[in-house]
Amino acid sequence: MNEQSTTLGHMLSALFVAAAGYVSGDYVTIIFGAVAGSVWPLSAADTKTRIHSAILLFKLVMTACALTGFVAYLLEHYQAVPAARALAPIAFGIAVVGDRWVRIIDAVVKALLTLVEAIGKTLTDRISKLLGGDRDA
Amino acid sequence: MLDFINLGVCAALFWTCFCRVTRTNDNTFRSVRLALTVLAGASLGSAIAPWAWQIPATPIGTLLALGMFSTQASMSHFWRGGCPPSIQRCPR
């Protein structure tokens, strides 16, 4: 029985090392790009202590880690850019944008709302024309 | 062995850059902020290169990093009271 558990343990270890090794290379690249890029927004931020800076750096690196895979997938899928090579530059770019993401997302949401409003207005005009609403004009 | 010495020196160099960017702000000259960003990125890359990309450390590269670290460390007293006014666009 002991032998079996040892074998199982070895197998699990081997599987873990294989899986972690496969993923960790990518993550090292992403974290390198993210940390290097996040120094730029950090240098502009009005941080008082090193702890505040470290927290901001952590936030930026985590944001870059979360978004890089998705952006790399989109680039590979639509632009045929190999994801493995694009990871560091993408993480760097995401981190350089830094804490301005909120403003960018706000702008995108505003643009989408304006677009939806314009489409809605066009549809309303067309429907009213179809229903004979243009007789009043 | 040299890889580990290089790792230590580059980590110390990155730390000096990190301490400086903590004190800089939006009012600091952009060129200074860019220089610190590039130096931090280069030191980090040089530190992890032997393990991440199998690029071994060289004696000259390590010596260069040590020289940059000494420069940063010797100039650190200018930064004790915060970002030096001479590199601020308009002193606050």
Q: Which residues of B touch A42 (CB under 8 A)?
A: 21-22
Q: Which residues of A touch B87 (CB under 8 A)?
A: none
Number of helices (H), then strands (E), in chain A: 4, 0
Secondary structure of residue A76 in the 3-state scheme: helix
Mutation site, B7, B13, B18, B32, interface A, largest A CB count within 10 A: B18
Kindly give the interhelix angle for B59-74 and B30-52, rounded to the nearest 10 degrees: 140
pLDDT at residue number A82: 79
Mean pLDDT, chain A, as a whole number?
Answer: 80
Does the pTM exceed 0.90? no
Interface contact flag, A45 B36, Cβ < 8 Å? no
Interface contact flag, A50 B19, Cβ < 8 Å? yes
DSSP per residue over chain A, as a string? -HHHHHHHHHHHHHHHHHHHHHHHHHHHHHHHHHHHHHHHHHHHS---SHHHHHHHHHHHHHHHHHHHHHHHHHHHHHH---HHHHHHHHHHHHHHHGGGHHHHHHHHHHHHHHHHHHHHHHHHHHHHHHTTGGGG-
Separation between Cα atoms, residue B54 and residue A39, nearest integer Å = 25
| Main-chain phi, psi angles of A61, to 5 degrees | -65, -40
pLDDT at A137 > cutoff 70 = no
Interface contact flag, A43 B52, Cβ < 8 Å? no
Interface contact flag, A32 B45, Cβ < 8 Å? yes
From residue A52, alpha-carbon distances to A98, B18, B43, B44 in Å are 15, 12, 22, 20
Give the position of tokens 């880690």.
A65
A50-84 pLDDT tens trace: 898 899 899 889 888 888 888 888 888 887 777 77
Separation between Cα atoms, residue A44 and residue B22, nearest integer Å = 9
What ranges do the domains of chain B cover?
A: 2-78
A16-59 pLDDT tens trace: 555 555 556 678 888 888 999 899 888 888 888 889 889 989 98
Walking along chain B (92 residues) 10 residues at a time, the average pLDDT comes out as 90 93 89 92 90 88 93 89 84 58
Interface contact flag, A39 B21, Cβ < 8 Å? yes
Helix or strand run (H / E) with residue A128: helix A101-130
